[in-house]
A and B are shown apart, each in its own frame.
Chain A
């Protein structure tokens, strides 16, 4: 049986506390991974290892952080992701809320969008899938 939302959040919270050295109460569903919790790109590797272990799943790093799209000459023009690029991101990341990013698709701000809640939804999509 798939774990409940609370169980998923609890395990994600523990992984983030361990990986980022933040306190439990800082890891709220709304907290942004990079802007609020201070995650850097290398932390995502550590976080992925911890989530894979906690949930016994396999995680493709490109699913969580689609660097290939964000650095693609096809999908990025003048520092902004093109409508085709945004469509590709939505296709890859159906679990993420990209509405704010779509309004101002600046590549630099992409990393600040991912929240703990997004991460939980991603995990749930993997557990169901």
Chain B
């Protein structure tokens, strides 16, 4: 199973804000597995979708050199189930960022309806956890391109977001658009 819980970024402002969508399909295994007979998208996977949206937003600030991991779910409130046929929208804003971590607040929506409110704390792994990157460069770049980050991304000056040079090394680039 692909561990993608968002389909595509719809906006990405470096260091500030990101939005993404996920289309919920009855063909998603998770829908049936979670509550047989009453298919709905598990709330835990909505948190994961927010973690992916916000985690990439946080990691992009230093060109993906920080090893960002989800450390804590400070808040997760859900107002309605997410059903097959829904399009779930994620909105994530960086509230605070330090050398050792970041806090984001996020909301999820279906149409005009507020579906969820989520607050996450991310930690940046220090040297005591070794120095291996969390993802090989080519996997990471492939994921960012697939999610359309560079199609919609803007840098702090409002210019199109550029792929970090280190991810473009020839031996690391396996996927192009």
Contact = CB atoms under 8 A, between A and B. Distances in A.
Interface string B93-104: 001101011010
Contacts of A52: 96
B96 A53 contact: yes
Contacts of A61: 100
Interface string A35-57: 00000001101101100110000
Given A19-B74, A42-B72, A49 B100 contact: no
Interface residues of A, number: 11
A61 B124 CA distance: 13
Contacts of A49: 95-96, 98, 101, 103, 121
Nearest to A62: B100
A65 to B, nearest CB: 11
Contact of B71 (A18, A45, A53): A45
Q: Is the interface of A mostly helix, strand, loop or mixed?
A: helix
A45 B96 contact: no
B123 interface: yes
Interface in B38-82: 71-72, 74
Given A45-B121, A49-B96, A49-B98, 15 more contacts: A18-B74, A42-B72, A42-B121, A43-B72, A45-B71, A45-B72, A45-B100, A45-B123, A46-B71, A46-B103, A49-B101, A49-B103, A49-B121, A52-B96, A53-B95
Contacts of A19: 74
A46 B121 contact: yes
14 contacts: A19-B74, A42-B123, A43-B72, A45-B71, A45-B121, A45-B123, A46-B74, A46-B121, A49-B96, A49-B98, A49-B103, A49-B121, A52-B96, A53-B96
A42 B125 CA distance: 12
Contacts of B103: 46, 49
Contacts of A53: 95-96
> Which 4 pairs show the lowest CB-CB distances between chains A and B?
A49-B103, A42-B71, A45-B101, A46-B121
A42 B72 CA distance: 7
Contacts of A46: 71-72, 74, 103, 121
Interface in B99-154: 100-101, 103, 121, 123
A18 B96 CA distance: 16
Contacts of A18: 74
A52 B96 CA distance: 9
A103 B117 CA distance: 47
A53 B103 CA distance: 11
Nearest to A43: B72
